Amino acid sequence: MNATYYRIELARVGRDFVTMFFIAILPAFMYLIFGAAQDYGDTDLGNGNVAFYIMVGMAAYGAVTATVGVGGMAAVEQMQGWGRQLGLTPMSDAQRVVTKAAVGFTVAIVPVALIYLLGWLTGAEAIARVWTASAIIVLIGAAVFSFFGLLAGLLFRSEGAVGAASGSLVVFAFLGNLFFPLSGALLDIARFTPLYGYVALARYPLTEGWIASMGPGGQPERDELWVPILNLAVWTIVFVTATILIARRGRARQ
């Protein structure tokens, strides 16, 4: 990793107030409205309470928004000629990729740290290992979605496309059981969407697989651990494979 390039890129992203608003401030505000400010936030749930459940979801949403945005812009910059400019420097392709990945990971820490701090201050409760495990899963899992951002940038080759990819996360978040508990047919559909496995896995230390909704006949539902793991693994393969294929096609055209 090139430390100077990392510092410049991190400062550039940090100065973009609009981007940071959607990455950190908006998810934090949503947690305060739908988690901390609600009476049901104090309700016990698994190894903590409902406020913690919502906090994890909003932190995951912010982290994914960060990695999708940084990954998408990396692809657009490469195709618009910035990659050739950097090719004149001593940096290798591997250094550029690792540095961009480090920037995305660092930016993803911001919403996670902010929302977890707000959760701690506003009554989100869980045992110590749940706080640690969920935060680690949120950060590591968010890296997968940098490939979604790369894919969007490679396909549409514009900054607007990257913004659209970040905006589509709202739809994925709704369908992924992130914003509020789904049930019935919507929950069945949710299990096949990109964010479901990621968020369910991040919440697993808290819920141990129990879903915060009732199934048919009013019975609680539970996912075995393999369900979110399989979902995340499949979508990782889809994003990575599609990104590689589109990148190769772009080079072949050149």
What is the average pLDDT score of the chain?
84
- pLDDT confidence band for 76 (50 / 70 / 90): low
Model confidence pLDDT, tens digit, residues 166-194: 788 889 999 988 887 888 888 889 999 99
Say which range, 103-112, 154-163, 218-227, has the weakest mean pLDDT: 154-163
Q: What's residue 38's pLDDT? A: 86
Q: Helix, strand, or coil here: 49?
A: strand
DSSP sequence for 199-251: HHHHHHHHHTTEEEEE-GGG-EEE--THHHHHHHHHHHHHHHHHHHHHHHHHH
Separation between Cα atoms, residue 211 and residue 208, nearest integer Å: 9
Q: What's residue 2's pLDDT? A: 74
Highest mean pLDDT: which range of 65-74, 96-105, 174-183, 222-231? 222-231
| Count of all residues that appear for the chain in the document | 254
Q: What's residue 251's pLDDT? A: 47
DSSP element (H, E) containing 44 = strand 44-45
Q: Helix, strand, or coil here: 48?
A: strand
Separation between Cα atoms, residue 154 and residue 148, nearest integer Å: 10
Q: What's residue 109's pLDDT? A: 94
Separation between Cα atoms, residue 153 and residue 138, nearest integer Å: 23
pTM: 0.88
Say which range, 43-47, 153-157, 189-193, 219-223, has the weakest mean pLDDT: 153-157
